[in-house]
Structures are given as structure tokens and as C-alpha cells.
């Protein structure tokens, strides 16, 4: 069963859901054409041509017809920094806290997967500033503390805070260990006049030799396609509280044009800076997030 935002509300706590998402995902990979990601991914890595064959696991080779090397704890020293946007716009749709809920559970699944691989993980939450920034560790106790942090985020209501991702990205670029993997969950709705500030901050992360994976979190139906019932609506800016009354069809074309231009510019800049840009629709299953991470992780080995 593919887990979507609607389905996860039927289950239990974050820790249990993260485990279910990851284990279900890995089982799905094993049954798919991508079975090169072993179910035993916590214990093995793909063999690289030219290295010693002493640690090849021949039992796994017999099952998969692929060469895997037994991994040892000292080999796995990836440091992953998860940046989680908790500004007011992430609480949209307001009834479900949709974008925030999706991002929290995706971050929980990634943290669980990282810890299973004995990689170190840190979570930083931000709006117009860094709110919380945990240490970067790989222990089970640390993972449990991350789950508690994520649960607190879900239990907290919005308090009209705008996004200033550009400032935060500059700070994080300087703070964290060089050559880290930086995973960002954000709608990238930035309260700045010039989008170049945001692009410059993303470039700063790459300049500091970090690998960057940006998940652009959207509610595609309403935020990009602007699909609303054709009647008068009152739209409220979740970051300023500003209200405007209008008929959606009066501005639909203009809105779509502007949001498409912004998304395309963001995607193009990420391509220039060699940043992995993945647009995720909160109505879709979580598998795209986990698979994008696995592909990135494999490239970094």
C-alpha cells in the first residue's frame, strides 16, 4: 500500500509511521526493477570496480546477481542536515496543515533511513530565522529525540511567521560540516523583493561543498493549478494575515503564469548549481521523496 497524506492520519505516532514508510518502501524496491537497493541496505554497499574483493558478500550475490561489499560502521560517515520550513505558508491547507504534515513525515522517514544506514542526521527548523538546530548524530537515542521534535512541530499552531530562507541558508552553509548532504523541505515562498537573494543562498550551500537536495513542497491542485470552485472566495495570506476577496476565474490565468515563471526560474537555477530539485505534491505518496534520497545517496558513495 502506498502511503499518502490522507492515509497516514489513520495510523499511529511519527516513529511507527517512519518505520512503516521506510520498510514498505524498501520492500517495494526489492520487488521492482530498482532492486539493486538491497533490503539489507544498512549492512552493504555496491562493489566498486577495482577495489579488493575480500569483503564481497557472495551469498547476496547468489540472490541478486549483483556485487555487494559488507559495510562497516567506520565506512559510513555521511552527515545529513535536514532543513524544515515551518513558516506559516507551510500550514496550508489550514484544515490539515498539509504541506507541513507532509514534510514532517518525509523528514521522519529520511531520519529513520539515515540512522539505519548509520549515517549522522541533524534537523534545523526555520521560518525567517533558525528556530531549532539539533546536533548531528547517528545514535538511536538521538533519532528518538528527532521524532519528539517533529511531533512537537505537528502539535504547534502557526503564528504568522514569514519565510526568509535566503538568510537561513547562508547561516547553515557556514555552520555545518563541509561536504554534508543538505535536504530542504520548503515551499520556497520567500518574503523578498529579489529572487536572486534566494538563488545566491542556494549557491552558497554548493560553494561550501555541500550536496543539496531540495524538495519543493506544494499543494499542486490549488497552489499551482489554482483550481477553486467558481464563486466568491476570501483568500488569506497565511504569513501576513492580509485578506482579499475575489472570484478565482478572474485571476487564474495571471496567477498560473506567475507561479509557473517562479517555479521554472527556481528549477533552472538549481540545475545551474547542480542542486537536485524535486517538486513534490502533497497529494501524492511519499515514495518519490525516499527514492530521490536513495539515488542521491548512491551517487555520493
The CA distances from residue 177 to 16, 134, 224, in Å, are 30, 13, 36
Q: Classify residue 91 by its DSSP letter.
A: G
Whole-prediction pTM value?
0.81
Residue with cell 513525515: 105
Which element (helix H / strand E) includes 150? helix 140-155
Residue 133 sits at φ, ψ, to 5 deg, of -140, 110
Which residue ranges form the domains of the chain, and what is each CATH number? 5-73 (no CATH), 76-300 (3.40.50.410)
> Where is 272: in which H helix or E strand?
helix 248-272
Sheet holding 276-281, edge to edge: 130-133, 120-126, 79-85, 181-186, 211-218, 276-281
CA-CA distance, 199 to 214, in Å (whole number)? 12
- Per-residue model confidence as pLDDT tens for the chain (301 residues): 566 676 666 666 888 888 888 888 887 765 544 444 433 344 566 777 777 777 777 777 787 777 777 654 444 568 999 999 999 999 999 888 999 999 999 999 999 999 888 899 999 999 989 999 999 999 999 999 999 999 999 888 877 677 788 899 999 998 898 789 999 999 988 755 557 888 889 999 998 889 999 999 999 998 888 888 888 778 777 667 788 888 888 888 888 998 898 889 889 999 999 999 999 999 888 888 888 888 887 777 6
Q: Is 241 left (phi over 0), alpha (psi -120 to 50) or beta?
A: left
C-alpha span between 21 and 248 (Å, rounded):
37
CA 167 remoteness from chain centre: 19
Which cell goes with 276? 537536485
Please, which residues have CB within 8 angstroms of residue 188's CB and are 6 or more apart in sequence?
A: 163, 165, 198, 214, 216, 266
Amino acid at each position: 500500500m502506498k502511503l499518502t497524506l490522507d492515509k497516514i492520519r489513520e495510523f499511529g505516532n511519527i516513529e511507527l509511521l517512519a518505520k512503516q514508510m521506510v520498510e514498505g518502501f524498501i520492500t517495494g524496491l526489492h520487488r521492482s526493477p530498482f532492486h539493486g537497493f538491497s533490503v539489507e541496505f544498512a549492512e552493504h554497499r555496491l562493489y566498486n570496480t577495482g577495489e579488493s574483493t575480500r569483503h564481497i558478500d557472495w551469498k547476496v550475490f547468489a540472490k541478486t546477481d549483483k556485487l555487494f561489499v559488507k559495510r562497516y560502521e567506520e565506512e559510513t560517515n555521511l552527515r545529513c542536515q535536514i532543513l524544515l520550513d515551518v513558516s506559516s505558508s507551510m500550514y496550508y491547507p489550514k484544515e490539515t496543515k498539509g504541506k507541513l504534515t507532509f514534510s514532517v513525515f518525509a523528514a521522519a522517514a529520511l531520519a529513520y533511513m539515515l540512522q539505519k544506514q548509520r549515517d549522522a542526521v541533524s534537523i534545523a527548523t526555520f521560518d525567517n530565522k533558525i528556530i531549532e538546530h539539533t546536533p548531528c548524530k547517528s545514535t538511536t537515542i538521538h533519532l528518538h529525540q528527532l521524532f519528539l521534535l517533529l511531533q512537537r512541530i505537528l502539535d504547534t499552531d502557526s503564528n504568522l511567521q514569514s519565510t526568509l530562507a535566503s538568510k537561513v541558508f547562508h547561516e547553515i552553509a557556514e555552520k555545518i560540516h563541509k561536504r554534508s548532504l543538505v535536504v530542504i523541505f520548503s515551499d520556497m515562498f520567500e518574503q523578498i523583493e529579489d529572487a536572486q537573494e534566494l538563488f545566491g543562498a542556494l549557491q552558497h550551500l554548493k560553494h561550501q561543498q555541500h550536496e543539496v537536495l531540495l524538495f519543493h513542497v506544494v499543494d499542486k491542485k490549488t497552489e499551482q493549478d489554482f483550481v477553486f470552485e467558481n464563486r466568491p472566495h476570501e483568500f488569506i495570506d497565511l504569513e501576513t494575515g492580509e485578506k482579499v476577496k475575489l472570484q478565482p476565474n478572474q485571476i487564474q490565468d495571471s496567477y498560473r503564469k506567475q507561479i509557473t515563471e517562479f517555479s521554472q526560474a527556481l528549477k533552472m537555477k538549481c540545475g545551474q548549481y547542480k542542486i537536485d530539485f524535486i517538486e513534490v505534491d502533497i497529494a501524492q505518496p511519499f515514495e518519490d521523496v525516499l527514492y530521490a534520497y536513495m539515488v542521491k545517496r548512491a551517487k555520493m558513495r
